[in-house]
Amino acid sequence: MVDSVQALIELAIAEDLAGGEDITSNATIPENQNSVAEFVNRVPGVIAGIDVAVQVLTYLGINDVTRLVNDGDKVPAGTRLLTARGNTRKLLLAERTALNFLTHLSGIATLTSEWVAAVSHTTCQIRDTRKTTPGWRLLEKAAVRAGGGRNHRLSLSDAALVKDNHIVAAAGVLPAFEKVRAAQPGVSIEVEVDNLEQLREVLVGKPDLILLDNMSPELCAEAVSIVNGAVKLEASGGITLSSAAAYAESGVDYLAIGAITHSAKALDIGLDLRMEN
C-alpha cells in the first residue's frame, strides 16, 4: 500500500502547486524559517490516516514528526494528534494534503464506529463495500477497520459476488451461481437475492454467503429462519443508522453499508502553527 499512497501524495502535491510554487508562503516566510505544526481535532472522533499524514510530511522533507495517537484511537475534541517540526514553507505546503487525508479517513473511521456501536448488542458485523473513492480504496478500507468495521472484498478478483445483472444475464440466480462455481471452484461466492423465492432457489447450491438486497428486517428474520445456519447472510440496501439495530437483531451475520465510505463527513481537524524560538 505504501507505493500506491506515495503516488496519491505526489499527485496531490503536484495538483496543489500546478507546476508553479506556493506564491503566498514564498512571499511572506523567510526561506530558512522553522516552525512547529500541531494537528488538532476540533470535534471528538475516531482517528485514521496518521501514517499517511506522516508520509506527506516526510515526502516534503519534514522528518521531525511525533505521533501522539494511533489509528483507531477515539479522542475528545482538542487532542493533539501529531506534532511536526521543520521548515515553515514545507510545513505549509504539506498542510492541506496531510489534512485532506487525515480528515477524510478519520471521518470514515468515526462514522463506522457509530454503526458498530448501533449493533454492538448483537453478533452482527458492519462491513464496507466497493463504493470507495477511486484510488483511495485501500486507505478507506483501512479507515473502516480503524472504526471497528470489517472489510468486504478489495477487488473484483478477490471473491465472486453474483448480483442482479449477472442473474439477468445468466437467466436465473441458480444458473448464475453454478456458472461461477464451475469457472472458479476455489473462490468464495456470495449471491445477491431480492426475495425469499430466490433465496430458496440458490440455497440448494450452498453458496458461501447470501446477500439480502433491500429486504425489511422482518424479511431478513424469515431468511435467517429458512437458512437455519446453512450459510451466512448479509443485509444491504435501505439500511440507515437508526434501523441498523433492527436489521442486526434479525439474526443476519453482516450489514453491508456503502455509506461508511461514500457518505462519511470529514472530521474537523486543523493545523496550528507556532514559531520556533
Q: Which one-letter amino acid corresponds to residue 43?
A: V
> What nine digits make up the cell of 128?
464496507
Beta carbons within 10 angstroms of residue 167's beta carbon: 21
Rounded to an integer, what distance in angstroms lies between the CA atom of residue 259 and that of residue 144?
A: 11
Q: Could you give the C-alpha distances from 77 to 80, 93, 118, 270, in angstroms and in order?
A: 9, 25, 22, 11
Helix, coil or strand: residue 87: strand
- C-alpha cell of 96? 492541506
Residue recorded with cell 478507506: 140
Q: Which three cell numbers stand for residue 152?
A: 468486504
The span from the CA of 71 to the CA of 30, in Å, is: 35
Q: Which residues are catalytic?
A: 96, 131, 163, 192, 213
Backbone angles phi, psi at 252, to 5 degrees: -70, 160
Where would I find the H helices in the chain? 2-17, 23-28, 50-59, 88-118, 137-146, 164-169, 173-183, 196-203, 217-227, 244-249, 259-262
